[in-house]
Amino acid sequence: MTDTTTATAHPFAAIILAAGKGTRMKSDRHKVLHPIAGRAMLDHLLDSLAQASLARTVVVAGDRHEQLCSALAGRNVTVALQEPQLGTAHAALQAKEALTDFSGLVLVCFGDCPMVRADTVRRLFAALDGGAKVAVLGFRPDDPLAYGRIIAEADGTVSKMVEYKDATEAERACNLCNSGLIVAHSDDMWPLLEAVGDDNAQGEYYLPDVATGAIARGEKVVVIETDADEVAGINSRAELAGAEARWQAARRIRAMDEGATLIAPDTVFFSWDTVLGRDVTIEPNVFFGPGVTIADNVLIRANSHIEGAKLASGVKVGPFARLRPGTVLGEGSFVGNFVEVKNAVLGEGAKASHLTYLGDATIGAGANIGAGTITCNYDGYFKHKTVIGERAFIGSNSALVAPVSIGADAIVAAGSTVSRDVAEGELRMVRAEQLVKPGWADRFHDAMKKKKAAEKK
């Protein structure tokens, strides 16, 4: 007999079902690899499970399993193949070989339900503490649609689980629906899975029949409930967009709860790993891609796009700025409107106020980059670096042809194309000599006006 008195302390293995074809996505990408907040839905789920002390993981794949193997390479995850696809219970059973040496709780869940929380998984495990053999997760959606139903007593004891297609009208009237998450000890899970038959409308081996089989054996099955959004499956682009919207809404609330000001919250989009300090102000229409860390007291002006960047305290960005991967902005630095920064470091107090491209560059503290300046970092084959010293002044409309170094306190005159290093404190002016012809413009205008008048006659 399985001892479940300390079920929450047992190691657990997760079987993640991801063998479906995902035809409604109309995509060449495997369904569970579609991203939410810049991260594959499968990775969201794996992260949540890891927070609940996950010991072993088996992902059951079918169609496009090569994509899953590639995406999971290097991780402590086993991919088991279901071929042919004969239903969810059959899919879960394909993980048995990979878990032959595992003894503990076994959780079966779906790869297209990425928002399952670690706390919910722990509650599901704890539901076994009262002597139940199987615990399932239920929810009550606004519209039960064609979800499978869970028929349960007020204390959570399950008397029957039934797929919608096999349910009676009375059973369909029940609004407690099956999320698909189910847990049992390994000693119980494998025999229950092996006993599942295919005597149903679809002729498939259904996972809920694990619970049905336990009930038939006189074992106790219990259900715990969660909210519908947490277990909403993603089967189409519209459902993917809905999951993204729910994730973003929750992240915006969290950002404000943690001390950030969002002027127009619904227009700000975060990545799964965005880190915000306190007293950060974010104006409308700001997008964060992966890999952004922002310290305290930073201002992000409207219509800016930021990814792969690290911003120190007191930084000001935008409006209409683009920070690309490898950007590091030092304390109190400023990147203004229509400035693009890529793989570049701006030192403390450095500023590039407008209309500038800074790529593959290191810019010293207090340096000033004038409007229209570009670092010419690519020669068609290789990237090269520009180094600008502390307090250097780069005049407007300058082109710095890398590799090149500008010394501390140096000045590059406006309109210069600099292809050789500039020493500290030096003025570099690279301009053609101006040609002056007094009265030439007046004579030109007179001649053109006479010519135009003659053509009209």
Catalytic residues: 354
Q: Cα-flanking dihedrals φ and ψ of residue 193, to 5°? A: -65, -40
* Separation of alpha carbons 358 and 340, rounded Å: 6
Q: Cα-flanking dihedrals φ and ψ of residue 41, to 5°? A: -60, -35
3-state secondary structure of 1: coil
- Which residues does 439 contact at the CB level (< 8 Å), separation at least 6? none
Q: Is cis: bond before 325, omega within 30 of 0?
A: no
Q: Cα-flanking dihedrals φ and ψ of residue 130, to 5°? A: -85, 10
CB 158 within 8 A of CB 221: yes
CA neighbours closer than 13 Å in the CB half-sphere of residue 240: 21
* Token pair for 185: 């000890």
Neighbours of 423 (CB within 10 A): 14
Q: Is cis: bond before 319, omega within 30 of 0?
A: yes
Cα–Cα–Cα angle for 298, 243, 47, rounded to 5 degrees: 75
* Separation of alpha carbons 404 and 384, rounded Å: 8
* Separation of alpha carbons 154 and 151, rounded Å: 10
**Nearest alpha-carbon partner for 114 in 213, 20, 35, 198:** 35
CB 149 within 8 A of CB 177: yes
